[in-house]
Amino acid sequence: MTRLLEMPDACQPLGRRDRAILELFYASGLRLSELVGLDLEDVNLSARMVRVMGKGAQGAAGAVQQTTDRQSLRAWLKDRARCARTADTDSRR
């Protein structure tokens, strides 16, 4: 598992995104469909919780167990904000 988590290139924004996804998937025990369905407002890093829509459209909260995924998620969220600003600027041209 350690080798899998270290595979994404942490020097690139998409590598940081991939690592955050893998770590969140591993640390939270979410189903893949729950992970894919997460929105930004579903993630509460300070409380170490994610809000998911479970089977049968029932809401549930899941805990993020390891501190490393919070670091990876924070790194990706910074990249995400930069990417959004760049895309917005490019679309105005």
Per-residue pLDDT tens digits for 6-65:
999 989 999 999 998 898 888 888 888 888 888 888 888 888 888 877 666 555 666 665
Give a yes or no: residue 93 inside a domain: no
Q: Please report the beta strands in the chain, taking only residues with DSSP state E, as ranges in sequence order.
A: 43-44, 49-53, 59-63
Q: What is residue 59's predicted lDDT score, i.e. its pLDDT?
A: 58
Instruction: Note whether 48 and 64 are within 8 A (CB).
Output: yes
Give a yes or no: residue 17 inside a domain: yes
Give a yes or no: residue 38 inside a domain: yes
Query: How long, in residues, is the chain?
Result: 93
Print the domain residue range for 29.
2-79
- CATH number, position 54: 1.10.443.10
Give a yes or no: residue 89 inside a domain: no
